[in-house]
Structure 1
Amino acid sequence: MATDFFQQQDVARRSTTRLIVLFALAVVAIILSIEVLLAATTGYLGRDPDTGAINWAAVTDLRLWLVSAVGTLIVVGGGSLYKIAELRAGGHVVAEQLGGRLLTRSTADLVEQRLLNVVEEMALASGTPTPPVYLMDQEEGINAFAAGFSPQDAVIGVTRGTATR
């Protein structure tokens, strides 16, 4: 069965869009959770000392809700932008953060040579440039990943377990 790499790319792009929507929904859920906690806290702390009645004016203060929502968006958005900026340097950043070691053609290790050959053959079959390959020597599990924003900065990361099995 032949694999249509470009069809797979389209599927991956649709998945990315779905993940972005889910991320946005998760951020909304975080904001709502914080809002509920703030409402409960301000209502409890702002009760009338004599009657114990909840101060609904404090609970429904839209300024408090707005400030907490904007604050949450700043924290989540800032963290996301920081990570995006960090990863813009290329897929090698991800591979290196995970403990990957860049493989070179001059390696004498037959397992590493075979891995480089497989990646090169797959790149030729898909019509894309051959990406750098990083080996995670300390990982015995069977796993691999591709990282990068474009084919020009993409890398392949492979665990030792994948390379040896």
Structure 2
Amino acid sequence: MAEQSSYLLAANARKQSRLMWGLFLLSLALVSMLIAGIVSIRPVTGATAHSSQWLIDWQAFIFTSIAVAVLILLACLWKIMTLGSDGADIARALGATEVTDENSDPAIKRYRNLVEETALAASLPVPAIFVLEKESGINAFAAGKSTDKAAIAVTRGALELLTRDELGAVVAHEFAHIRNLDMRLNLRLIGLIHGLMGLYVVGRIVMHSAGRSRKGGQLVFLGIALVILGLLGAFFGRVMQAAISRQREYLADADASRFTGDPLALAAALKKIGGLQRSGLQEAVHDELEEARHMMFADLSGKLSGWLSTHPPLIQRIQALEPGFNPDTDWPQVQAKPLQK
């Protein structure tokens, strides 16, 4: 039964991957055509002084649509190439600190041992090990395009607040992402969202420059249009993140339970996250983590669920692992500990 469930989840994950590309191409086409429409529309005065109409210069429309689409794609590729394939580089870019053999912190030693044990159980290479030292909430992520260049990071809060079994379950969840090559898709998602968000950045620059130009009014109008379309692109990007990430989280939860043989340990870690969320103590500090929110073990929003959440509702994840969980009475009281300086 567990293998059949895993197969169904994997099939759903592949469907979600195809959905990602479909949503991105739809977003790309829509945004490109809207910008092209703004640029290529022309006023045509009629025979009388009081009659006029608007026509589209189709040559300009086609050229502008292609140019905008190419620029967005180039921004996507640039972001993906900047992130690179090495998970360690990605972890550093997201604010994580690498764990060295010289580190004598008992919590770090326990964490390193768990990573090595899970790598052996999953028949995978030991990844580079990182900690998000400034994060007092419970979270984690895996990064890298391949299993031999992977990295795992957990927050300082996870090290301080989770038991050994709970932390081991979280580590196993991230190993499931590594084994299923979810990291490769995650990097593509970051690149696609960056490309869609690029219009917003360009629009802000155009509006800032409008005051120093003789055509300030036209530039302001163009800047406002780019900002609006950039926000539209960001919305599509968030929809894309939510659509792809949810099924992959369910699959990773199921795989982690098989790695550890203890689904209740993962459920306990998720319940502690819920306790922090209910207290408003789970939100991330690092701004860099926001565009990588779909890579995280738990949602960064600090909410139990949401329409655009990149993760399944926390209650549903827990009940899939512990069917008897009662969300009205079973949340633990968790207090984030002060971070080490």
TM-score range relative to shorter protein: 0.7 to 0.9
Matched, 1:48 2:45: yes
Would you say the 8 A contact 1:91–1:155 is kept in 2? yes
Q: Secondary structure at the match of 2:101?
A: coil
| Aligned amino acid, residue 148 of structure 1 | G
Q: Secondary structure at the match of 1:54?
A: strand
Q: Which residue of 1 aligns with 2:78?
A: 82
Percent identical: 29
Q: Alpha carbons of 1:17 and 1:118: their partners in 2 closer, same or farther (altered >3 Å)?
A: farther
Where does 1:32-111 land on structure 2 (aligned, <5 Å)? 32-38=33-39, 42-43=41-42, 46-48=43-45, 50-56=49-55, 59=56, 61-111=57-107
Q: Which residue of 1 aligns with 2:21?
A: 20
Would you say the 8 A contact 1:148–1:154 is kept in 2? yes
Q: Alpha carbons of 1:133 and 1:14: their partners in 2 closer, same or farther (altered >3 Å)?
A: farther
Q: CA deviation at 1:21?
A: 2.7
- Aligned length in residues: 157
Q: Alpha carbons of 1:125 and 1:134: their partners in 2 closer, same or farther (altered >3 Å)?
A: same
Matched, 1:147 2:148: no
TM-score scaled by length of structure 2? 0.41
Q: Alpha carbons of 1:106 and 1:151: their partners in 2 closer, same or farther (altered >3 Å)?
A: same
Q: Alpha carbons of 1:17 and 1:119: their partners in 2 closer, same or farther (altered >3 Å)?
A: farther
Q: Distance in 2 between matches of 1:35 and 1:96?
A: 39
Where does 1:129-140 land on structure 2 (aligned, <5 Å)? 129-140=125-136
Aligned-CA RMSD value? 2.8
Q: Distance in 2 between matches of 1:66 and 1:157?
A: 45
Q: Distance in 2 between matches of 1:141 and 1:3?
A: 32
Q: Secondary structure at the match of 2:111?
A: helix
Q: CA deviation at 1:112?
A: 1.0
Q: Alpha carbons of 1:64 and 1:80: their partners in 2 closer, same or farther (altered >3 Å)?
A: same
Q: CA deviation at 1:14?
A: 5.0
Q: CA deviation at 1:76?
A: 0.8
Stretch deviating more after TM superposition (80-89 or 142-151): 80-89
Name stretches of at least 5 consecutive residues in structure 2 with no aligned partner.
Answer: 162-341
Name stretches of at least 5 consecutive residues in structure 1 with no aligned partner.
Answer: none
- Greater C-alpha Rg: 1
Q: Distance in 1 between matches of 2:29 and 2:118?
A: 40
Q: CA deviation at 1:146?
A: 0.8
Q: Which residue of 1 aligns with 2:120?
A: 124
Q: Alpha carbons of 1:110 and 1:3: their partners in 2 closer, same or farther (altered >3 Å)?
A: farther
Q: Alpha carbons of 1:163 and 1:129: their partners in 2 closer, same or farther (altered >3 Å)?
A: same
